[in-house]
Amino acid sequence: MAFGTGSHPTTRLCLEWLERSVRPGVSLLDYGCGSGVLAIAAGRLGASEVVGVDIDPQAVVAARDNAAANGVAARFQESADQLGGQFDIVVANILANPLRVLAPALCSHLRPGGLLALSGILVEQSDDLIEAYAPHLSLSVVDTREGWVCLAGSRQ
């Protein structure tokens, strides 16, 4: 079973952010896509290129199945190595420690002017994440729910 039913507070925070941020025709990378909930939502909101990455092969299979069941054309893969190119939006709803380590990689997949949203972060971890991303872009707290936070920023 892949992680991601859409009911966790961090998923809700990301979905709400996507509703405000996705515009028709944008490209989106869902890093740590789990079952594909965020990628599928982006596709339904009008993103024209949707890519999901997850290290769990079962998650990739589940995400592909879920996207097909929802009529969303998206590409899902186990490795970020073959991504190539940059995206208008990068979203990652995974834990704080991996997000910290992935800061350079996630930002490298973001186009200049592109938007980044991060969740899976406890409120008390937000300052550490903001600091970890500071060399790449300026993050700020978008919203909090039940002790969790969504951070977002734009690459200059």
Q: How many residues does the chain have?
A: 156
Antiparallel, parallel or unpaired: β 87-93 and 27-31: parallel
The answer on pLDDT for 6 being more than 70 is no
pLDDT for position 81: 86
The answer on pLDDT for 80 being more than 60 is yes
Which tens digits make up the pLDDT trace of 83-132?
A: 878 999 999 999 999 999 999 999 999 999 999 999 999 999 999 999 99
Hey, what amino acid is at 111? Answer: R
The answer on pLDDT for 7 being more than 80 is no
Residues 19 and 46 sit within 8 Å (Cβ to Cβ) = no
Q: Which domains does the chain have, with CATH numbers?
A: 9-154 (3.40.50.150)
Task: Give the mean pLDDT of 59-75.
Answer: 97
pLDDT for position 60: 98
Distance, CA of 121 to CA of 126 (rounded, Å) = 7
pTM exceeds 0.85, yes or no = yes
Distance, CA of 152 to CA of 65 (rounded, Å) = 29
Residues 18 and 144 sit within 8 Å (Cβ to Cβ) = no
